[in-house]
Amino acid sequence: MKTNRLGMIALGAGLLAASPALAYGQHSFSLKNDTGATIDCGIKRDGSSAMEGITIKTGEVWTKSYSSSKARRVRCEGLFSSWQLVQPDAAYRLVKDSDERILVQSQ
């Protein structure tokens, strides 16, 4: 019984030690919706045509981690909105300008 307990303790310690290694190499960024309305956006890796669609409610912060350190592009709804570059490991906020465009700003 004592051997079994020591084995479980060793297994638990090994899992705890491995956790940071699993997260190593992950890059994330976050978008906070400061537009005052729920908005739909698209996110794609810079240079790619594959897009991921997201909806962010007012005041909500959306965060995503990627294994690649490549920059991403974000485009939100709006007549004059365009694809805007975002760098990994950073926080951004979405704001509406006077032309009703949704802009990505660093926090």
DSSP conformation letters of the chain:
-HHHHHHHHHHHHHHHHHHHHHHTT-EEEEEEE-SSS-EEEEEEETT----EEEEE-TT-EEEEEES----EEEEESSTT---EEE-SSEEEEEEE-TTS-EEEEE-
Q: Which of 32, 25, 70, 80 is nearest to 50 (CA)?
A: 70
pLDDT band at residue 17 using 50, 70 and 90 as cut-offs: very low
Task: Give the gyration radius of the chain's Cα atoms.
Answer: 20
Q: What is the pLDDT of residue 24?
A: 64
More confident residue, 30 or 5: 30
Task: State yes or no: pLDDT of 70 exceeds 80.
Answer: yes
Q: What is the pLDDT of residue 80?
A: 82
Q: What is the pLDDT of residue 99?
A: 80
Mean pLDDT of 63-79: 91
Phi then psi for residue 25, to 5 deg, are 90, 0
pLDDT band at residue 52 using 50, 70 and 90 as cut-offs: very high
Strand partners for 95 = 103
Mean pLDDT computed over every residue of the chain: 82
Does pTM surpass 0.85? no
